Structures are given as C-alpha cells and as structure tokens.
Amino acid sequence: MIVVWLILILMVGGALAWVTEAMDSRLPRLTALIVMLFSLIVVVMLCMNNFPDPLSPGGQWLVLEKWSWIARFGIYLQVGIDGLSLLMLLLTVFLGLMAIGAAWHEITERPGFFYFNLLWTLAGVVGVFTALDLFLFFFFWEVMLIPMYLIIAIWGHENRAYAAMKFFVFTQVSGLILLLAILCLAYFHFVQFGRFSFDYFELHNVVLEGRFQMLVMLGFFIGFATKLPAFPLHSWLPDAHSQAPTAGSVLLAGVLLKTGAYGLIRFAVPLFPEAAADFAPVAMTIAVIGILYCAKLAFAQTDIKRLIAYTSVSHMGFVLLGVYAWNIYGLQGALMTMLAHGLTSSALFMLAGGLQHRFHTRDMGQMSGLWAKLPKMSAMALFFSIAALGMPGLGNFIGEFLSLLGAFQANHVAAIFAALGLIFASVYSLWVIQRVFHGEFRVPGDHGAGHGEAHGATAQDLSSSEMLCYGAMVLGLVWMGMYPQTFLAMSEPTMAFLLESLGSFVGSVVSTAEVLP
C-alpha cells in the first residue's frame, strides 16, 4: 500500500495547497513543504527498512502489489518497488523538496495552484517510477505532463507560451507513439495468449518477430528518448528549461528527464532484448552525437539557463550510452549519472534562477565578477560546475566513468568519442565561471553611473535557508562521489537480474565488441 499512500499524499496535499490559498497566500507553500517532508520520510523509511539487507524475501522486489482495475482489458493497478525505483523515488522527493525551496520566494502569483501543479507532477513521477502495468504507467506518464505544462505556461518567463506549447507537443507526440507501441504489445499478448495484458511480467513472454519487434521497440525508444532527451529530439528542452520558473527547471532537469532513462532501463530494453541489441550501436551513436553536439551548443549560449539546459542533454548522453552498453558497469554508471546529474543540474538551475531573481536577466554578457560581491553564491556555482564537469570525488564522475567503462567494453569507438565530451565539459563549465563569477565586478545596468552600483550592492548573497538547500546537495554529491556503494548496492540486484534474464543480449554485444580490433 505504501506506493498508493505516497501518491495519495502528494495528490491530496496538492489539492490542500490549492484550497488553503484562500485562507492565506503563505499557506500553500507551507502545506507543500510539510507534504514533501512527509513523503521524504516515507521514502527514507522504506530505504531503511529494506537496507542494508538487499536479500529481502521478494527477491529484487521490495514491494509488489496488484489490484484489479479494468479487468476486461487486463489492466491492473500493479505497482512495485525495487532498488532502481527506490533510488528514483529518493531522488524525486529530495528534489521535490529543493523545488519547493526554489519556489519559496519566487512564486507569488497564484501560489495555491502552483503548488498543486508541483505536487501533482511529483505524484505522476512517483507513479511512473513504480507502475508495473503499462497502461497505468502511461496514465502516470500523462499525469506528470499536464501540470508541468501549466507550470511553464503560467509561471514561466517572457516566452513561456511558445516554450510550453513546444514542450507539450514534443512530449505528447512521443507519448502517442509510446501508447501505440504499448497497445501493440498488449494486442500481441491477446493474439498469442488469448487475452489482453498490460502486465510488465507477462509482456515479457510476448514473442515479436524481427522487424516488427524493432518497430515496437522504436516506439518505446522514441517515447523515452524524447523525455531523456536524446539527439535529435532534444530541441524542446532548452526552451522549456529557460522559460520555466526555477522550481519547474529543477523538476524538469532533476526528475522528469530521469523518467526517460528509467523507461529505457525498465521497458525499452528488457521487453525487446533482440531488437535492443541490434539497435544498441545506433543508440550509442545517438548518445555520442548528443554528448558532443550539445556540449558545443552549450558553449555558444549567452542565456545561462539555456546553457545549463544543453549541458543536461550532453550529460544525459552518458546515460544513454551506459544503458545501451548493457553491462553492469554501463547500467550502474547510467544510474549514478542520473542521480548525480539530478543534483548538479537542479543546483545549477537554482543558482541561475537566483541570478535572474537578483539581476532580472539571464544574459551572462551582462554580469561578471560576482565573486567579489556574492562569494557564497559564487563558491556554490564553482562547486556544482566542477561537479558537472566530472571531477573525481563527486557523484558525476562515478556515473560518467562507469558509463564509459561499460561502453568501452561494448563499443570502443563510441566510448572514445564520448570521452571527448569530458574535454568539452571542462570548456563550457569553466567558461560560465569565467563569464559570470570571475573578472571585474559588473552587473546589469552598470553603465549608468551610480545606478548600477546601487543595484549591485543591494544584491543579497545566499540566505541561510538557501545555503541549507545547496549544502544538502553538496553533501549528496560528495557522498555519491566518495562512497557510491550505498547507491550502487541498492540497484545492484535489479541490474544483475536484468542482465541475467537477458543474457543473450549481453552475449551478442560482447561478441560484436570482440570482432572489433
């Protein structure tokens, strides 16, 4: 029941937040905070109960529940939590808390409805990470989309309508393709077993022939790759991220992108092992292009949020690479990248939001030398940039190193080219630091004598509550970097099970790798 409770807490909490606005405009955020704290406690309890004893009776599944829903079409309310899901849930609730922190002062307009959307998005995400019935999965897939669309469309910045529409169209079209693929699968279950089924475990038994399996697999892949996003389906993301309010960017980058990666690991590969194996070289090529292409794009941006958005695409390339390497190193690397990127990108978006809040611009050309006046903020920006460029000792390094280690075993060439991304990452990360935080102190409107000075002088450094948020994320990244075993151990059974059950895929990949010199 715990999953249902978690989703209900978030949904009811969201409704409550909306309702309480009528009483006091500060109540919604308080409600949301309490709800998120409660969810965090629930998830942490779940972790504590099941670890450090990974061999719980249910095998890899810590929770596995099933209720009838639409029996006629074989649709069940089937949910499950394994190590992978649990880590994703942990990330979700943690970043949910951060998002509320980011919105705390920023959202003054219709806060009730904002927090409603925020919590409902999170509820959808929790559903996506736990649903084991593909119909239910798709249901939650949509649940998380619409509130997010509203967040961008209502509380976004100057070009929000365009960005929100673009986000919606991309996700909706890819969602439709995903739905078609799911229905195909359910239909073939009907053809082969005489009844419809959306059950994750039953659908494994469906046998699809060569080309057709590839086609259905591509349906899943496109659905998830748009969310990830993978090249060339990434173009919604820079607009959505740069236009969304900070909390929206945090959720998008930190959590929503991860649903794509999760979908690949949970569904796109395991359901279609042969097609996925054939497709692996293509996927890895896409990953490499994405890593390099978007790193280069990031370097050219002047809008700081757009820049971070492109780096997100670049980093998610490592996830794609790791997943399609489909060995334990690649998968665990993809997982660590997801977790670490969740924290770094969220923190960077929060910092960018903080800059916009203080100086009313996202144009990096207009500010420089902030270290002199905002040392705490600058130090944080430096830390998270360093983390993002893959400094060992912090989480992102573990993820990227393992992804590349795994990818190298599967495909030398892809791994070598992807590794060049490490160089590009250092180029753009340090460029941001140089442009915004180093150099001579200058803030927007500085050319007008006196005026700018006053403006810059009024800018406040991070408050203690902000420091608390960033501090938590710093600790998280150091933890992931110095002792990633905590997280790796949680996902190990799931990953090992996936690899074991798809042994053939592994074999085929390794054999192609061995053909290479």
3-state secondary structure of 228: coil
Cβ-based nearer residue to another protein, 216 or 292: 292
Cβ-based nearer residue to another protein, 179 or 513: 513
Question: What stretch of H or E contains 36?
Answer: helix 27-50
- Please, what sign has the CA dihedral across residues 403, 234, 346, 361? positive
Cβ-based nearer residue to another protein, 210 or 365: 365
What minimum distance in Å lies between the beta carbon of 392 and another protein?
A: 4
3-state secondary structure of 65: strand
Give helix then strand counts, H and E, for the chain.
21, 2
d(CA 429, CA 436): 11
What minimum distance in Å lies between the beta carbon of 420 and another protein?
A: 7
Check if the beta carbon of residue 337 is closer than 8 Å to that of residue 394: no
Beta strands in 26-120 (DSSP E): 61-70, 75-82
Report the residue count for the chain: 517
What minimum distance in Å lies between the beta carbon of 296 and another protein?
A: 5
What minimum distance in Å lies between the beta carbon of 328 and another protein?
A: 4
What minimum distance in Å lies between the beta carbon of 268 and another protein?
A: 22
Cβ-based nearer residue to another protein, 109 or 158: 158
Instruction: State the CB neighbour count (10 A cutoff) for residue 384.
Output: 27
What minimum distance in Å lies between the beta carbon of 233 and another protein?
A: 9
**Structure tokens of 380?**
């944080």
Cβ-based nearer residue to another protein, 234 or 305: 234
Residues engaged in binding another protein (CB under 8 A): 231-232, 234-235, 238, 296-297, 299-301, 327-329, 332, 369, 371-372, 375-376, 379, 386, 391-393, 397-398, 401-402, 404-405, 408-409, 415-416, 419-420, 422-423, 426-427, 430-431, 434, 437-441, 482-485, 488-489, 492, 517
What minimum distance in Å lies between the beta carbon of 398 and another protein?
A: 6
Cβ-based nearer residue to another protein, 73 or 431: 431
**Structure tokens of 181?**
């693929």
Cβ-based nearer residue to another protein, 71 or 416: 416
**Structure tokens of 199?**
């059950």
Check if the beta carbon of residue 254 is closer than 8 Å to that of residue 98: yes
Check if the beta carbon of residue 260 is closer than 8 Å to that of residue 253: no
> Which residue's entry shows tokens 């943690």?
94
State the alpha helices, DSSP H only, in 194-272: 200-203, 210-227, 236-243, 246-251, 257-263
Check if the beta carbon of residue 400 is closer than 8 Å to that of residue 424: no
What minimum distance in Å lies between the beta carbon of 372 and another protein?
A: 7
Cβ-based nearer residue to another protein, 34 or 499: 499
Cis peptide before 270 (omega within 30 of 0): no
